[in-house]
Amino acid sequence: MPARTASLSLDGFSDVLADRLDGIAARLVAIRSGGRGSSTGIVWRPGLIITAEEALEADDDIALLHADGSSAAASLVGRDAGTDIALLRTEERPLADLTFGSTSGLRAGHLVVAAGRRPEGIAAAFGIVALAGGPWKSLRGGHIDRRLHLDLRLDPRAEGGIALDASGSAIGMTVLGPRGGVLVIPSETIERVARQLLEHGHVARGYLGLGLQPVRIDRTTAETCGLPEPLGLMVISADPDGPGQSAGVRQGDVLIRWNAQALASVRGIHTLLGPESVGQTVELELLRGGERQALPVRIGERPRP
């Protein structure tokens, strides 16, 4: 197969990238909250700003710096730690709604531009998609529609900024991941979560009301129970008004299954307590004094902090 020839000179390609940034610059704001340095927000709709939840230190005293140098106050509409998305409200600007592009066609190796705003101006980075995977659950239980890792160096003040594909479409929000890696919260996740925050102020999460820690189970008992590993989750505390205790779960019980799914880690059960779990009745299988029991539990909604 013959190699593709470049249709743009290096100067032309450079100008295209700069034009992409010029086109998005008015939508990027610098955010200061609490005592930390600045981060970035994206004007999603008139008067509404999307930003990285983890970078938003305080719920009040939030100040914005716009592209034209003007400043404004903002208030919190809602925040969702599970997906790292926060929504702010501020004075309206003469901008149309932001149209996000789909991430379904993104593949490893595709070019991407990340843009944020520092008080001095635009902070930009250029790189490639290093990993393009399917849906995943965050450590804090949020459903992320695609796993997108970028190979570029992100200015910390650009966290909460925008990621653009080679066509200039907004594909999501850039956030800092483990060990300084750069992740994209994809457009599909942002649209879904931002609408929930706008309507309800939060994203519902399932709640058992149980404090749990991993524990090893006698191997013979594990084999008798048909568990793939001799592991379970011991109940170390229980909310007296929580769904778990109301269903009969007691401190000292060892949870081993959620419906037919074995339970071996606290993270595993957090992923099961997503928004879709609220109101569902599940069967929790547990060990109490070495005896197996199964209890139906109706999942509640996690109390808001």
Same domain, 106 and 219: no
CATH code at 53? 2.40.10.120
Is residue 3 one of the residues assigned to a domain? no
Q: How far apart are CA 208 and CA 57, in angstroms?
A: 28
Q: Which of 188, 203, 218 is the last residue of a domain?
A: 203
Q: Could you tell me if 205 and 82 are in contact, meaning their C-beta atoms sit under 8 angstroms apart?
A: yes
Q: In terms of pLDDT, which residue wins out, 36 or 257?
A: 257
Same domain, 93 and 115: yes
Q: How far apart are CA 106 and CA 109, in angstroms?
A: 9
CATH code at 219? 2.30.42.10
CA-CA distances (angstroms) from residue 272 to 7, 62, 185, 261?
49, 33, 20, 10
Task: Write out the residue range of the structural domain in which residue 159 sits.
Answer: 9-203
Q: How far apart are CA 146 and CA 163, in angstroms?
A: 14
DSSP H or E segment with residue 272: helix 266-272
Is residue 23 one of the residues assigned to a domain? yes
> What is the predicted pLDDT for the residue at 1?
38
Same domain, 78 and 211: no
Q: Which of 158, 178, 203 is the last residue of a domain?
A: 203
Comparing 7-16, 91-100, 209-218, the range with the smallest average pLDDT is: 7-16
Mean pLDDT of the chain: 92
Same domain, 106 and 241: no
Please state the domain count of the chain. 2
Same domain, 42 and 177: yes
For residue 2, what pLDDT band results from cuts at 50, 70 and 90? very low
Same domain, 294 and 180: no
CB-based contacts of 273, cutoff 8 Å, min separation 6: 141, 205, 206, 207, 208, 299, 302
Same domain, 147 and 241: no
Same domain, 181 and 38: yes
Summarize the confidence of residues 179-184 as an average pLDDT.
92
DSSP H or E segment with residue 173: strand 170-176
